Structure 1
Amino acid sequence: MSQPPQPPQPPQQPNDAPKGFGAPQEPPASGFGAPQEPPAGGFGAPTPPPPNSLPPSAPPSPPAPAAPPAYGYPQTPGTPPPAGPPGYGYPQTPPQQPGYGYPGQPGGQPGYGYPTQPPTQPMAPQYGMPGAPDPGRKKPNTQLTIIIAAVVAVALIVGGGIWYATGKDDGKKNDATSGTGGNKGDAGGSATGGGGKEKAPANTAAKVLFQTPQPQVTDLSQVHGSWLTDKVYVKSGLKEIVGYDPAKGTQLWKLPLTGNVCEATTHVSADGKTAFAFETMENGSKYASCTEVAGLDLNTGRLLWQNDIKGASGDRKSRFDEVTLGAGTVAAGGLDGGAAWDLNTGKELWKSTTTTDQCKDVGYGGGDALVAVRKCGDYDHPTINVQPLDPKTGQPISTYKMLPGIQYAHIVSAKPLVLAADVGDTAGNGSGISDFFSVDDKTGKLLARIPAPGAKYAASCDSTSVEKCKMVAAGNGRLYVPTQQHANAASGSDSFGRTNELVAFDLTTGQLVPGKADAGDGYTLYPLRMDGNNVIGYKDAPYNKGTQVVSIDGGSLASTLLLENPADRTVRDALTSFSAKYSEILYGQGRLYLGVTMLSKPYSADDAAKKFLFMATGTG
C-alpha cells in the first residue's frame, strides 16, 4: 500500500559546505505558503477537490489536517493577526516574534489561493483591519457594523493620501552614523515605465513545452544554476551542465564536470557568457568541496577556463560560498577571502585575503557593477563595510559602513546600489530583511533607509549569503517589493482567496510611491527581474486557475498579462512543485522555465515519478 506523501523537508547544505560569512546556515523558512526544496510534488500531486464537489450553497472550506500537510492540500487558516494595524503600504511596528531559527507558530496562513473562511459580514472590516472588533468582545450589531465599515473606508482613503504625499518614518531612516544624503523630492520622482523587451503575444494561453525528470540520487545533491539566452536554456544536473533548445527542449550540448555545480551567478554577459563554481575531491577527502571557479559560453557549451586559489594556510584550495559576475569580472568569495578573474580569459585580476585586523571580503554582488561586502573584527561583533569596486583592480571606489550590530549584509542590486539587512533580528520571519538601504555608489553616502519588516513584506534574502535575494527588484529609481499574503476582504463575501500587492519605494527619498500592482483575487504576485524600466512578475494562482507571468509598468504599476499557464490539475501540480522561494524561475520570449537547486532521494517509486529537474511552458 502506498504511503501518504510526507511533509517536504527544508533544503540543507552538505556538512562540509558552510555558507556565506562562515556561520552555519539556518534552515530557510518557508515563504508564500510554498514548500521548501526539495519539492515533493509533481505531476499527480494531490490538490483540493474541485468546487463542484461541494453543495452549491456551501462555500469551499479547507480541511484541518492533524499534521503539516503535503504541498497541494489546503491548509488550515492560521490565527488572525491582532486588530488594528494599518492597511498594506503603511508603516507599522513589527509584531513580537521569536528570533530567526526558532520554530514558527502552528497553524500559519493557508497556501496560495486555497479557500479560507468567508467574511462574516459583507460590509464589516475583517479582523486585523483598522476598526475591526476584538474577537473577545461581543459581536456588534448590524447598524454598528455598517457605521464602522464606513468610518474605516474614509480613514483608509484619507490616511492613504496623507502617507503617499508625506509618509516617512523619520526615526531612523537616515541614521547619522551611516551617513545621510539624497534629494528629498516628491515620492516617486520622475520614474516612468517602458523600455522592456518582453511584449504581450496575441494569445497569452500557454502549454507545457517540455520537462525533465529528476535524476536518481541517494542523498541531498546541489544542482545550482540555470540560464537563458536567445539561443539556449541551460540547466545544471548531476556532475554536468546541459544546454537545451529553448522551444523544443532537445539537447544542444553537454558539459561533463568533476562534481556538481555548487554555486552559480544569475548574471549573463551581453554575448551569452556566465560563471559558476563546482565541486572536486581534494587530498583524499571523502567529501567534495566547492573549490573550482569557471567561465562558460552558454550558447556553445564551451568551458572558457577553470581556476582555484590556495587558502590562507597554503596547503589546500579555498572553498567558495558564492560567485558572481560584475562588469566583465568574475568574483568569488568564501571563508578565506575572495578572488577575481577576467570573464573571457580566466586571468586572475586580483585576490583579497584576510588582513591583520581580521578584514576580508566575504562575498560580492554583480551585474552592471561589482560590489564587495567586507567583514572586519570578531565573529560576535563584526563591522560590515560595503564597497563598490573597480572590477579590474579590486580597489574600492567608495565605502558604506553598515549600522553596528548587523551581522550580515545582502546586496539586492549593485547598480543602483541597494542593500538589505536584518537589523537587530527584527525581520520576524527569517526573511533576512528588516530594512533596505539605498546608497550612492560614488560617495558611499546613505540615500534612504526603508523599513520592510518580514511580517508585512515578502522579499527574502538567504540568511548568511551576500547576493542570494529573491522576490525583490531594483531599477528605474525604485525598489519593487511584494507585500505578504492577506485576506482579500475588498472582494466581498463571495471571495475566499488571499492576495497581495507589489509596491514601490523611491530610492532617493525612501518613500512609498503612489499606486500598487494588485495580484488579484486568489493570486500572489512577486517580481522576477527588471525588464528595462518595467518589472517581470510571476503570479501564483488559486487552486482552480493557472499561474501567470505579467509585465508591470515601472512607473504606473499597471499590469499586462504575458503568459497564463493551463489550469489543468496535473500541470498545476507540476508547476507548484517548484517552490517560489527556492527554485530558479526564468522568463523570456514568451516562455517560462522552472528548475530546482537541490535534489533529494525520493520517498518511494511513486514519489520519484513526481520529481522534476526542470520544466518549461510557453505561448508559442
Structure 2
Amino acid sequence: MTQPPPPPPNQPPGPPPGDPQGGFGAPQDPPPGGFGAPTPPPQQPYGYPQQQPGQPQYGYPQQQPPTQPQYGYPQQPPTQPQYGYPQQQPPGQPPYGYPTQPQYAQTPPPSGGKKLSAQAQIIIAAVVAVALIVGGGIWYASSGGGEEKNDTAGATSGASQGKGGGNGVGGNGKEKAPANPQAKLAFQLPQPKVQDITDVSGSWLTDKAYVKTGVDSIVGYDLDKGAAAWTLALPGQVCGASRHVTADNKTAVLFEATKRVGPRFYQPCTEVGVIDLTAGKLVWSKSVTGGSAGDTKARFSEVTLSGTTVAAGGTDGGAAFDVANGNPRWSPKPNAQDCYDMGYGGGAGLVAARKCGPYDSQYVVIQNLNPLTGAPVSQFKMPPGVKYASIVSTKPLVVAADVGDTAGDGSGISDFFSIDEKTGKLKAKITADADRYAARCRSTEVESCTKVLVGNGRIYVPTEEHEGSSGEYGDETNEIVSFDLATGKPMTGKADAGDKYTLVPLRMDGGNLIAYKIPPYDKGGQVVSIDGGTMQATTLMENPSDDSVRDAENSFGTDYAEILYGNGRMFISDTMLSKPRASSSTKEYLALAFTTH
C-alpha cells in the first residue's frame, strides 16, 4: 500500500480538497502575556458570560496536503511556521462563570521573504496588543446584557442547527416531555466480581436493548426488565469502545486476545472488532502489525467510527478498517519524523491527533482525514506546550488541550480550539479557566471528553459548582454557558441547575441539549432538555427519592460513569471495576435503569 506524498515544504497551501466522505451521528492560567492591560469591566451577576472582543487567528495558516492524495496512511505534517505572540489578560478575577480569553496576535509575514528581527516582532506584538486593549474597552462599553442517529453513548455531538429557540437555533429535538416525568427504577445490574482493576467502558442504547460491557463479554439487556436478551462472549476483556453507532446498530470495540490471569492480570489490547448490537454478534475481528510494534501485534488504546470506517489508535500507531468486512484501509507505518496517530475522533468526520518528533521536542498535529484513504484534508499544528489533544467534535472541528500543563485540576483542558476542518485555520481559541468550567478530557485519550457539547455553531460547557442563592450548607449549584465557535465570544443566556442541583451535559438532541441534574442528598436525579438557543430547560425525567434508590443512584460518580438517555429511559453505569474489599457491606451495581413508561 503506497502512502500519500507529503506536501512540499514551505509552500503556500493550495485550494483545499473536498470534504471527507460522510459520517453519521451516534449514540488557569493564561499564557504569559504581552503589553498593557485594560481596566477590568464592572461586576455582573454571577454566572453570566463576559463578552470579549473578536479574536485574531492564532498563528499562521497551516500548510495543506496535495489536493489529490494517494491511497495510504496519513503522512507527517510539513514544517510549520511559528505562532504569534500571546497578549496579556486583563488583570483581576471577573465573577464566576465569566469566560476569560487571552487574545493571540498573528505576526504578519514580512515582504520580500525576509525574516523579521526579534526587535521588529516585539514592536509588532506591542502594537497589536494596544489595538486589542482599545477594542476590548469599546466592546465592554457598547455590549448589552441580557439574558445520522443521536449520539446516545457520547458526551459530544456536532448537531445541526434546529428551528425555534433564540436567534434561530435550538429546538428540533426528538426527546419530548412525558405527561408525568416521575420515573421508577426499572432494573439494576449487580456488579460482577473481578480479581483486579477491570475496564468495563462501553454502553449503547438501541430501540430493543441496553447494551453494556461485562467481564470478557458484552451483554444486551431487555429495556424494561433487564433480562439478558443476548450475551456475546469474547476471548478477552474489552479494552476500548466507540461512542458512535451506525444507522444499522453496529459499533466498534477493542478487546484482548486472551483472558487475564494472575498475578499480573494484564493482556495487551490488540484486537479490533465490530459488534452488531441488534443480533449480539461479533461481525469481524482483526489485528495488525507494524509501526513501533514491528512484527508483533500493534497495541491500541481507543477506537472510533466515521461513516464506513473503523479507526483505532495508540502509541504503536493508527489503523483503519472497513466497517462491513474488516478489510484494512491503513496500518501503522514507521517514518523518519517519528509520527504516529495517538487516536481519532469519529462521528460526522474522522480526525487524527498525531504526535511527531523526538521525545524531547514532540509536537501535536490535528489532521482532518478522508476516512476512506487516511489522506489528510487539512491540518493544524497545536501550539508549543501541548503534549496531548482531545477531539471534542469532528464537524465542526473542536479540539481541547492542556497547553503547558496550566489547567492544574486534572481536567485535561486549559483551552478549546475551534478549527476550520476544510482549511486547517484556527477560527477561535477559547480559554477554559479550570476554576470556572467543569468539562473534562482524559489527556492521554483522543476521544474521551465529557461534560462538553458542540452544536448550533456553539460549544456548551458547565461551570464548576458554587454556592447557591440561599447560602445554606450543601446548596451548591452551577450553570451551562456557551461560546460562539466562529468568534470565540461568549453567548448571552445560561441554563441554571437550580439550588442544590448540578447540571451535567450528556449529548445533543437536534438543537437541544440533553443534561443530567445531579441531585441533592434527599432527591433523585433529573434529566432535562435544554433549548440550545434560549437555554430554557424542560424536565424529561425525575428519579425516585426514596432512600435505597437514591443511594444506589448516588453511588455512581458522574466523572467516572456513563449516562445514556433516550425515549423516557435513563441508564447509568460504571466504567471501571475493582476487587471488592472483604470488609465492605455496600451493595454495588454495574448499572441502573430508570423509566417513565
**Common fold by TM > 0.5:** yes
Q: CA deviation at 1:216?
A: 1.4
1:227-254 Cα distance to aligned partner (Å, 9 max, x none): 1111211001011101111222121111
Unaligned runs of 5+ in 2: 1-27, 33-39, 57-85, 88-101, 110-135, 148-165
Question: Does the aligned pair in 2 maintain the 1:485–1:498 contact within 8 Å?
Answer: yes
Distance 1:553 1:275 in 2: 31
2:302 to 297, 311, 322: 322
Distance 1:158 1:240 in 2: 48
CA distance 1:273–1:583, shift in 2 (3 Å) = same
CA distance 1:615–1:493, shift in 2 (3 Å) = closer
| Pairing 1:224–2:207 present | no
Secondary structure of the structure 1 residue equivalent to 2:343 = strand
Aligned to 2:576: 598
What amino acid maps onto 1:232 in structure 2?
A
Aligned to 1:156: 44
Question: Does the aligned pair in 2 maintain the 1:428–1:455 contact within 8 Å?
Answer: no
| Pairing 1:483–2:460 present | no
Aligned CA RMSD, in angstroms, stands at 3.0
Distance 1:235 1:568 in 2: 26
Question: Does the aligned pair in 1 maintain the 2:478–2:503 contact within 8 Å?
Answer: yes
What amino acid maps onto 2:389 in structure 1?
A
TM-score normalised over the length of structure 1? 0.71
Secondary structure of the structure 1 residue equivalent to 2:44 = helix
| Pairing 1:299–2:283 present | no
2:389 to 409, 414, 427: 409
| Pairing 1:372–2:352 present | yes
1:454-488 Cα distance to aligned partner (Å, 9 max, x none): 11100000021111111111111000000000111
Distance 1:362 1:588 in 2: 32
Question: Does the aligned pair in 2 maintain the 1:528–1:538 contact within 8 Å?
Answer: yes
What amino acid maps onto 1:501 in structure 2?
E
Q: CA deviation at 1:158?
A: 12
1:192-248 Cα distance to aligned partner (Å, 9 max, x none): 111211111011001110111111112111212111111211001011101111222
What amino acid maps onto 1:333 in structure 2?
G
Aligned to 2:180: 203
Aligned to 1:140: none
CA distance 1:173–1:344, shift in 2 (3 Å) = farther
Q: CA deviation at 1:330?
A: 0.5
Question: Does the aligned pair in 2 maintain the 1:178–1:403 contact within 8 Å?
Answer: no
What amino acid maps onto 1:236 in structure 2?
T
CA distance 1:218–1:160, shift in 2 (3 Å) = closer
Distance 1:422 1:341 in 2: 31
What amino acid maps onto 1:334 in structure 2?
G
Question: Does the aligned pair in 1 maintain the 2:454–2:508 contact within 8 Å?
Answer: yes
Distance 2:312 2:456 in 1: 28
CA distance 1:521–1:315, shift in 2 (3 Å) = same
Distance 2:107 2:302 in 1: 29
2:521 to 516, 529, 543: 543
Q: CA deviation at 1:326?
A: 1.3
Distance 1:510 1:457 in 2: 15
Q: How does 1:92-131 map to 2 (within 5 A)?
A: none
Aligned to 1:503: 481
1:350-373 Cα distance to aligned partner (Å, 9 max, x none): 223231111111110001110011
Distance 1:238 1:177 in 2: 55
Q: CA deviation at 1:571?
A: 1.0
Identity over aligned pairs, percent: 53
| Pairing 1:519–2:475 present | no
Secondary structure of the structure 2 residue equivalent to 1:428 = coil
Distance 2:579 2:46 in 1: 55
CA distance 1:308–1:520, shift in 2 (3 Å) = same
Secondary structure of the structure 2 residue equivalent to 1:315 = coil
| Pairing 1:429–2:422 present | no
CA distance 1:160–1:462, shift in 2 (3 Å) = closer
Q: How does 1:58-97 map to 2 (within 5 A)?
A: none
Question: Does the aligned pair in 2 maintain the 1:221–1:600 contact within 8 Å?
Answer: yes
What amino acid maps onto 2:384 in structure 1?
P
Q: How does 1:14-413 map to 2 (within 5 A)?
A: 155-156=43-44, 163-164=50-51, 171=87, 172-174=102-104, 176=106, 190=167, 192-281=169-258, 287-312=266-291, 313-413=293-393
Question: Does the aligned pair in 1 maintain the 2:290–2:332 contact within 8 Å?
Answer: no
What amino acid maps onto 2:255 in structure 1?
F
Question: Does the aligned pair in 2 maintain the 1:178–1:400 contact within 8 Å?
Answer: no
Aligned to 2:65: none
Question: Does the aligned pair in 2 maintain the 1:178–1:445 contact within 8 Å?
Answer: no
Distance 2:512 2:553 in 1: 25
| Pairing 1:571–2:549 present | yes
CA distance 1:416–1:562, shift in 2 (3 Å) = same
Q: CA deviation at 1:601?
A: 1.1
Distance 1:601 1:436 in 2: 37
Secondary structure of the structure 1 residue equivalent to 2:361 = coil
Distance 1:497 1:443 in 2: 47
1:465 to 431, 445, 449: 445
Question: Does the aligned pair in 1 maintain the 2:54–2:488 contact within 8 Å?
Answer: no
Distance 2:52 2:350 in 1: 35
Aligned to 1:618: 595
Question: Does the aligned pair in 2 maintain the 1:281–1:287 contact within 8 Å?
Answer: no
Distance 1:604 1:502 in 2: 41
Unaligned runs of 5+ in 1: 1-91, 97-130, 132-151
Distance 2:527 2:269 in 1: 34
Distance 2:582 2:45 in 1: 54
Distance 2:43 2:341 in 1: 49
Aligned to 1:76: none
Distance 1:350 1:165 in 2: 43
